[in-house]
Chain A
Amino acid sequence: MDFSFISDSIVTYGVFLLFAVVAVASAFLVVSVRSVMHSALFLAVFLLSVAAFFFIFDADFLGIVQILLYVGGVIVLILFAVMLTARVSSSLLQQTNEQKYSALIVCALLFIMLSYSILISGLQGFENTLLPGGTAKSVGWLLMTVYVLPFEVASIVLLAALIGAMAIVGKKDE
């Protein structure tokens, strides 16, 4: 099997494998442990290992953003929400329902299909180019030139979400 699309260096490959195992294991724990709090913490571990992937593949900017946004922002938000939930410590909390077996079959099929097609076709679209001086500069340049429209549209999406949030929670007096 050809894994050259992951990395040529044996050390990088080893570190990648280590974090891959951590990521898959913690992702599995997120959906299988019974306490919501533990789920949230395992999610943090998973997101951190994804950040590690970014660092391994020289995408330092993405790695930092991943830590800042997901671990720093999203996870904290989730933890707050979990702490405000009443049934946090209840051990009766179930993560699955009666459809778990059919879901398992679908997931297994999807997994087989995906791994089969990844192994036979591989992901060769990208060239391995190391950007000088990290990726932050190139990302910034791309955002303001090639991706300027998506960048601006994203800000309009945020505006819409803001108005929407006000419409949902806001109370206006007559």
Chain B
Amino acid sequence: MTKGFIPEAIMQGLLALTPEVFVLCLAFFIIIADLILPVKSKRNILDIAAVGLTGALLLTIGALFQQGMYIFNNALVVDSFARFFKIIILVSAVFMLLMSRDYKALENNKIGEYTALVVLVTLGMMLMAGASDLLMLFLSIEFVSIVFFVLVGFVKKDSKSREAAVKYFLIGAFSSAVFVYGASFLVGVTGASSFPSIQQYLIAHGISNLFIVGLLLMLVGFGFKIALVPFHMWAPDAYEGAPAPVTAFLSVASKSAGVAVLIRTFLAILPDNSNVNLILALLAAITMTVGNLVALTQNNAKRLLAYSGIAHVGFIMMGFVAYGLFGVQSVLIYTLAYLFTNMGAFAFVIAIYNKTGSDDIRDYGGLSLVSPALAFVFFVFLISLAGVPPTAGFLGKLLVLGAAIDSGYTWLAVIGVLNSVVSLYFYARIAYFMYFAKEKKITEAIKPSLSLNIIIYSSLFMVLYICLLPEQFLNLAKKTVQLLTGSFHGY
């Protein structure tokens, strides 16, 4: 090897981070494109970004099963687990950009900043998925939060959007403080900030009380980010007020990234989770129940999906509580199913909003008469959210319930099943308005644009494909978990 200006370790790290570097260059390219392009053709920037992120997606998929390794002095870990979540993040980013193309509330002259922020936040979440150092973890979480504060309040004319941004900002800042406070105890106890060094310390000295307290404070911080009950107050307001593509992005990508760091942190620095397992199980149960019960009475589609998203986080946590190989696998499948189902549902919400200017589900009446095929596809997404076969949501729920029972959490699984039944009611309520409402609010056929159609039909394909031919996805999840680097268990 030649001895260049850049030390070899850094060069190696940058090579392992090719997708991230690519996304960063894309962000710079977009900033320049924003300066050059005239206002009329600014919407093309969204296409450029979507194509670029698809490139990064292909790079990540190509490297999915490469051997995992630590880079940049343990600041990041690049393994199949991180890449799996990067794929989810990139897919949702591409979908989100496609959705934004036809979202009416976005002004043409702001598209440049909007796209640059979306690409940068994608980069932040990709870093989050691989963070294996408390400093890097905090930095990437802050990165993502700061950009989302802006994106949530992007439509300044809408007072709801502004209010949502302020609420999200205040609670986000507070939760970051709690998180970093907890992390400071971990550093104080172990004298190390990277996960491998913390592991080494714990193997040598065991776990102290202060360590657990620090970890619980960090859990509060994570809880805010992924909207666990009782740290979920910001979610409904932020989801309702934000522009719909941002809501979809926030509920899928940001949540997946949060789940990824949560799992990574706990697996990497906790030898066995018996100390905090009951707390996690209780949080999962409360999260599911509160999310579903409150969703029962919602009439705003975005708000309803926000509460249903909270409930889904409860289910994801249920798989995580199981903690073993099977538990993490079930979380991966569930997240994948949630990605396509939720993105598809949001594409519909946007298509209908573009037509009627309303997010109220009572205004969905008559949809089945004017565009029966679309109404049926929407129905498929709804039953996937509820977890009814033959959809991806069913497979995800089956796996997390199985994982919970497998590790002795039968009571949690029972609560999960009861919650599924409750959730069926409010998803079916949307279907009721589409099919049987007396008042026909929608009188013309809804014609989603090309980009929305791409999202709807590719999501539909994946939702059915994952459930009908699950074998390869199960293998994928299994292999991903086996290649998980830096777990305390070593599986």
Please, how many angstroms separate the alpha-carbon atoms of A123 and B189 in the complex?
5
Please tell me if A116 contacts chain B, counting CB pairs below 8 Å.
yes
Q: Are A163 and B124 in contact, CB atoms less than 8 angstroms apart?
A: no
B109 touches A174 (CB 8 A): yes
A residues in contact with B117, CB < 8 Å: 160, 163-164, 167
Contact across chains for B154 and A114 when beta carbons are under 8 A apart: no
CB contact between B136 and one of A145, A149, A172 (< 8 Å): that residue: A149
Contacts of A172 in B (CB 8 A): 109-110
The winner among A120, A127, A148, A160 for most chain B CB atoms within 10 A is A160
Q: At the interface, is chain B mostly helix, strand, loop or mixed?
A: helix
Give chain B's interface residue range (CB within 8 Å of chain A). Answer: 35 or more
CA distance in complex: A146, B188 (Å): 19
B127 A159 Cβ-Cβ under 8 A: no
Chain B 381-417 per-residue mask, 1 if CB under 8 angstroms from chain A, else 0:
0000000000000000000000000000000000000
A113 at interface by CB-CB < 8 Å:
yes
Q: Is the CB of A154 within 8 A of B110?
A: no
Flag whether A136 is at the interface (Cβ < 8 A): no
Nearest to B184 among chain A residues (CB) is A123
Residue pair B213, A149 in contact (C-beta under 8 Å): no
| Chain A nearest Cβ from B13, distance in angstroms | 7
Q: Does chain A have a CB within 8 A of B343?
A: no
**B113 interface residue, CB < 8 Å from A?**
yes
Q: A126: which B residues are within 8 A, CB to CB?
A: 188, 191
**B114 lies within 8 A of A167 (CB):** yes
Task: Tell whether A104 is near chain B: CB-to-CB under 8 Å.
Answer: no
B140→A153 contact, CB < 8 A: yes
Interface: A17 (CB within 8 A): no
- The verdict on A1 contacting chain B, using a C-beta distance below 8 Å, is no
User: Is the CB of B474 closer than 8 A to any CB of chain A?
Assistant: no
A157 touches B113 (CB 8 A): no
Count residues of chain A with CB under 8 A from any CB of chain B.
Answer: 35
Say yes or no for B143: interface residue by CB 8 A criterion.
Answer: yes
Q: Give which listed residue, A120, A123, A150, A168, contacts B133 with CB less than 8 A.
A: A150
A156: chain B residues at CB < 8 Å are: 24, 120, 123, 143
A70–B318 CA distance with the chains assembled, in angstroms: 42
* Complex contacts, B211 vs chain A, CB 8 Å: 121
- Give the distance to chain A from B308, nearest Cβ to Cβ, in Å: 29
* Complex interface: chain A residues within 8 A of B365 (CB): none
With contact pairs A167-B154, A174-B39 given, residues A149 and B210 touching in the complex (Cβ less than 8 Å): no
Bound-complex Cα distance A174 to B40 (A): 10
Contact of A149 among B13, B110, B149, B154 (CB under 8 A): B13
Q: Which among A148, A157, A164 is the interface contact of B10 at CB below 8 angstroms?
A: A148
- Cα A170 to Cα B150 in complex, Å, equals 13
Q: Is B31 engaged at the interface, CB distance under 8 Å to the other chain?
A: yes
Which B174-189 residues have a C-beta within 8 angstroms of A? 187-189
The CA-CA distance from A120 to B477 in the complex, in Å, is 42
- In the complex, which residues 204-252 of chain B have their Cβ closer than 8 Å to any Cβ of chain A? 208-213
The answer to whether A160 and B121 have CB atoms under 8 Å apart is yes
Q: How far is the CA of A167 from the CA of B117 in the complex (A)?
A: 9
Task: Tell me the complex Cα distance, A145–B142, Å.
Answer: 22
Given A156-B143, A164-B149, A120:B209 Cβ within 8 A = yes
Contacts of B72 in A (CB 8 A): 148-149
Chain B residues whose C-beta falls within 8 Å of the C-beta of A167 in the assembled complex: 110, 113-114, 117, 150, 154
Chain A residues near B133: list those with CB within 8 A: 150
Contact B135 A147 (CB under 8 A): yes
Q: Which residue of B lies closest to A161 (CB)?
A: B146
Chain A residues with Cβ under 8 A from B476's Cβ? none
By the criterion CB–CB under 8 Å, are B124 and A160 in contact? Answer: yes
Bound CA–CA A170/B156 (angstroms): 11
- Is A121 in contact with B143, judged by CB distance below 8 angstroms? no
Instruction: Select one of A117, A122, A157 contacting B146, CB under 8 A.
Output: A157
A127 and chain B: residue at smallest CB distance: B191
- Please give me the 4 A-B residue pairs with the lowest Cβ-Cβ distance, nearest first: A125-B191, A121-B208, A164-B150, A149-B72
A residues within 8 Å of B by Cβ? 113-114, 116-118, 120-127, 145-150, 153-154, 156-157, 159-161, 163-164, 166-168, 170, 172-174
Q: A127-B191, A157-B142 are in contact. List 18 more A-B contacts (CB 8 A).
A: A118-B210, A121-B209, A123-B188, A124-B191, A125-B189, A126-B188, A148-B10, A149-B71, A149-B75, A150-B139, A153-B127, A156-B24, A156-B123, A160-B120, A164-B117, A164-B146, A164-B149, A170-B113
Cβ contacts A to B, 10 pairs, < 8 Å:
A117-B209, A118-B210, A121-B209, A125-B189, A125-B201, A153-B127, A153-B139, A160-B146, A168-B156, A170-B113
